[in-house]
Chain A
Amino acid sequence: MSSLVKNIIRFVLFILVQAFVLDKVPQLHQYVKPWLYFLFVLWLPFNLSRISIMIIAFMFGLCMDYFSGWPGLHAAPCVLIAYVRPFLLNVLLPQEKTEFSYAEPSIKSLGFAPYSVYVLILTFLHHAYLVLLEALSLQSGEFLYFIGKVTAATAISMLLIYLSELLFQRKARYRTNAA
């Protein structure tokens, strides 16, 4: 399956899963909000330019917004993580010239620890920005609320991301650098 088709299917699936599965799960607590949809941005292939990643992330966030009924709320954090993503990858990608390069960020292509750092930082950024925007537009900001919600949501998102990594072992088909 070509990368384009794969990512289009992912685009649709992530939005549907977030809108009709995770958003429908009865809440444990106000702070525990399961967000997973932004994993789509994290899984975009390496070979996209920065501009196109941001535009894709913006469109993706906006689609999510229309399903959740609050336009603009998800688009802004998605653009932020799409912007930060290349900087992080530059730092985390193994620097020595390896023979193979992979198509997209995964445990196999980055290694477990760097991939965890990559996911954790972007998840945290996304949630912090999202909760901040929420609090700003509700005008009911409390510090404890902000910290609590970001921490709890990051924890639950990390859990969900690891679960989806385990469940859907992406075939990390590598290509040689020579090609």
Chain B
Amino acid sequence: MRNIILFIRRFFTFFMFLVLQGISWAILVKYSKSHQAVFAEAANEVTGKVSKQYNTVEYYFELKKTNEQLVAEIKRLYDERRSSFEGADSSTQVKLDSMLRDSTHKGFRRFTYLPAKVVNNSVTNENNYITLYRGRLQGVHPDMAVVGPDGIVGRVILASDNYSRVMSLLNHKSNVNAMLKKGYVSGIVEWDGKDPSYVTLRNIPKSADVKRGDTVLTSNISEQLSYPPGIMVGTVTNVAADNAASNFFTIRVKTSTNFYSLQYAYVVQDASWAEQKKLEAQTPKN
């Protein structure tokens, strides 16, 4: 016993080194699995506050770009407004049913958009994260989808009281179900860590008709998280076959969101998400 104590005392520095390494590894492994870490929420609150202070300066330099983004977004929404369209001239037509909408079936609002200020945003790391100034007290929960003025942004992984941390699309772990606008062929969008403006679309079969410039949208399939279907992901810039034997394309997609100048984002609340997850959990996996 005495020898053991002597041994430990002799190599105390080395043991301390091992212990600290062990703690670091434990934090790292736990975080990679579940995005939870010790003091993560408290730390998020503090780093969020510091980032917000920094952002008050940074935002000033981005005002012009942010304005342009917002004007473009308003233009898009004006275009979608019903009063922008002229209906068919009903005086010369015979209509059997003038009821355009089925008012007997009461629809409900599925997606609610909560605006949030981006206070911290990185594009240069291998795994990038975004901090939003909106947290649990304002109704943000983990696994909510985040979209920007031009397209998808990421997914909430951690929410503290007033700040939330978002896993950016520019993250090795962000797998987003996407589809081609032409033909509705579904695939998966991934980031390879090289260029913050480009992501990779996989699992598109070679039978699909893909060309440069085609639009990629979020799919109506939602395995991991619920993006509203039809939100812009990006445009196709390059189509290449995996290899001769493969049946799938590897498609390079330019993201529609400019991650360099992202200042506002919308956290999307999906009213039917909980129900979908509950149902999927009940049914057997195989």
Contacts and interface: CB of A to CB of B under 8 A. Distances in A.
The finding on whether chains A and B are genuine partners in a shared complex, rather than unrelated, reads yes
Interface of A: 16, 20, 23-27, 30, 33, 50-51, 54-55, 58, 61-62, 65-73, 75-76, 79-80, 83, 133-134, 137-138, 140
Contacts of B71: none
Question: Interface residues of B: mostly helix, strand, loop or mixed?
Answer: helix
Contacts of B16: 50-51, 54-55
A19 B145 CA distance: 25
A160 to B, nearest CB: 15
Given A70-B127, A76-B21, A133 B172 contact: no
A76 B172 CA distance: 21
A178 B134 CA distance: 58
A153 B17 CA distance: 25
A81 B44 CA distance: 27
A51 B12 contact: yes
B28 A79 contact: no
Contacts of A69: 122, 125, 127-129, 165
Given A51-B16, A58-B20, A75-B24, A30 B193 contact: yes
Contacts of A24: 122, 124
Nearest to A78: B24
B16, B24, B31, B43: residue with the most chain A Cβ atoms closer than 10 Å: B24
| Interface range for B | 35 or more
Contact of B123 (A27, A62, A65, A75): A27
Nearest to A131: B126
Interface of B: 12-13, 16-17, 20-21, 23-29, 31-32, 37-40, 43-44, 46-47, 50, 54, 122-129, 165, 172, 193-196, 260
B127 A138 contact: yes
B122 A23 contact: yes
A69 B124 CA distance: 13
B20, B37, B193: residue with the most chain A Cβ atoms closer than 10 Å: B20
B126 A76 contact: no
A145 B233 CA distance: 28
A137 B21 contact: no
Nearest to B57: A20
A25 B124 contact: yes
Contacts of A72: 24-29, 31, 37
Contacts of A79: 17, 20-21, 24
Nearest to A61: B24
A80 B38 CA distance: 21
A62 B21 CA distance: 12
A164 to B, nearest CB: 20
A58 B132 CA distance: 27
Nearest to A33: B124
A27 B135 CA distance: 30
A51 B14 CA distance: 9
A19 to B, nearest CB: 8
B20 A26 contact: no
A158 to B, nearest CB: 19
Given A23-B125, A26-B260, A72-B29, 6 more contacts: A24-B124, A25-B124, A33-B124, A69-B129, A71-B27, A134-B126
Contacts of A80: 17, 21
A75 B27 contact: yes
B122 A68 contact: yes
Given A54-B16, A67-B47, A83-B13, A76 B28 contact: yes
Given A71-B27, A137-B28, A140-B172, A55 B47 contact: no
